[in-house]
Amino acid sequence: MTLTVAGTPKEYPDGINLTRLIELEKVETPMYVTVALNDAFVESGGFEAAVLKDGDTVEFLYFMGGGR
Amino acid sequence: MAFSNEQLTRYSRHIILKEFGIKGQKKLSRGSVLIVGAGGLGSPAALYLAAAGVGRIGIVDADDVDLSNLQRQIIHGTDDIGRPKADSARAGMLAVNPETEVRAVRAFLNAGNIMDIIRDYDFIIDGTDNFPAKFLINDACVLSGKAFSHAGILRFSGQLTTYVPGRGACYRCIFKEPPPPEAVPTCRQAGVIGALAGVVGSLQAMEAVKYLAGIGEVLAGALLTYDALTTAFRKIALPRRDDCAVCGAHPSITAPVDYAQAACDLTA
Ligand SMILES: [Zn+2]
């Protein structure tokens, strides 16, 4: 199935959930990433249950604390 | 208020823009911006906003200039080492434009003083380097109905969004609460390229200019990310959280909150 992750469409195994996608994408701080799935936030407790389907769009939003 | 000939010359490249014009310049000169942090983001933002003719600028910082700051904090010079950053930044702004009224605030913002400090300003720029401060600024701006620019930088990446009351997500909609200290890398641990701070701080200044002058569209309801290594900008639409603790329908946060400061951030 095709997912658009961080703006780029790519092929992924059918039926993976957000937890697996986070592993496949090697997200650096998986505990603290904010995930938007098709323009809605998914709570971190809901990653396991969020089974992805063809055409889904996923964004990872990362904490960036610097500024000085 | 009429501009002098000297002012017309100083701001001529603004005034010549038909979308901006004398009208835009007048709005800037009547406007005010508070910049929190005279560092990597705050330095370019302060210089551009002073140069642009913003009428009143506040600059908040409790630290002194350190040699390790100068790689990116371009409002300070080598001769400023050891001097309070707020004072050094004020001098830098006045050197560029003596007509701007600049207030230096040598303080750490906290839940007790932030509402009073931001009250007098139209727009706030978050140029801080730690999550407790970023959440504090977000909450205080949401609670007082002020527009502000959030930005963060790390290594080779940066992000920013502009909060405008009633027009989309706040910072807390995206990141519900600060991560535990040390859970995510900070600049000090991870490093940052000076020019990256320049790009992102300049974007913040541009947001303030647009907001004050009433031109274009500010970056509300979206997060702009910048990856310097691949030169990729992305604008990600942000959903709003109806259950956001501060801007949601039934907020649980009704006054600013102090979070424990990560120890590693104290001397950044
Ligand atoms: Zn919110």
**A8 part of a folded domain:** yes
DSSP assignment letter at B259:
P
Question: Is residue A49 exposed (0-12), middle (13-18) or buried (19+ Cβ within 10 Å)?
Answer: exposed
Domain count for chain A, please give it: 1
Question: Comparing C-alpha atoms, which of B146, B71, B45 is closest to residue B61?
Answer: B45
**A68 part of a folded domain:** no
B128 to chain A: closest CA residue: A67
Q: What is the pLDDT of residue B115?
A: 98
Q: Does A59 touch chain B (CB under 8 A)?
A: yes
Q: Does B263 touch chain A (CB under 8 A)?
A: no
Would you say B44 and B25 are in contact if contact means Cβ atoms under 8 Å apart? Answer: no
Q: How many Å lie between the alpha carbon of B31 and the closest alpha carbon of chain A?
A: 24
Q: How many Å lie between the alpha carbon of B25 and the closest alpha carbon of chain A?
A: 28
Would you say B210 and A33 are in contact if contact means Cβ atoms under 8 Å apart? Answer: no
Mean pLDDT by 10 residues, chain B (268 residues): 94 97 98 98 98 98 97 98 98 98 97 97 96 96 98 95 96 94 69 94 98 98 97 94 95 93 45
Give residue B104 CA to ligand 1 midpoint distance, Å: 30
Kindly list the domain boundaries of chain B, sorted by start residue. Answer: 10-237
Would you say B41 and B197 are in contact if contact means Cβ atoms under 8 Å apart? Answer: yes
**A14 part of a folded domain:** yes
Q: What is the pLDDT of residue B268?
A: 37
- In what helix (H) or strand (E) does residue B218 lie, and over which residues does it extend? none
List, edge to edge, every strand of the sheet that includes A40-42: A8-11, A2-5, A57-61, A34-37, A40-42
Q: What is the pLDDT of residue B137?
A: 98
Strand, helix or coil for residue A39:
coil
Q: What is the pLDDT of residue B81?
A: 98
Q: Does B204 touch chain A (CB under 8 A)?
A: no
Residue A24's domain comprises 2-61
List, edge to edge, every strand of the sheet that includes B56-60: B101-105, B56-60, B32-36, B123-126, B147-154, B157-163, B222-227, B232-237
Q: Write the pLDDT tens digit of every residue in A6-55.
A: 999 999 999 999 999 999 999 988 889 999 999 899 988 999 999 999 99
Strand partners, A66: B153
**A67 part of a folded domain:** no
**A34 part of a folded domain:** yes
**A57 part of a folded domain:** yes
Would you say A20 and A49 are in contact if contact means Cβ atoms under 8 Å apart? Answer: no
ipTM associated with this complex? 0.92
Separation between Cα atoms, residue B197 and residue B191, nearest integer Å: 11
Strand partners, B101: B56
DSSP assignment letter at A45:
G
pTM: 0.94
Question: Is residue B78 exposed (0-12), middle (13-18) or buried (19+ Cβ within 10 Å)?
Answer: exposed
CATH superfamily of B10-237: NAD(P)-binding Rossmann-like Domain (3.40.50.720)
**A66 part of a folded domain:** no
Torsion of CA B235, B239, B243, B244, to 10 degrees: 10
Output the domain CATH number for residue A47: 3.10.20.30
Neighboring chain B residues of A58 at a CB cutoff of 8 Å: none
Would you say A3 and A52 are in contact if contact means Cβ atoms under 8 Å apart? Answer: yes
Give residue B240 CA to ligand 1 midpoint distance, Å: 7
**A22 part of a folded domain:** yes
Separation between Cα atoms, residue B217 and residue B118, nearest integer Å: 23
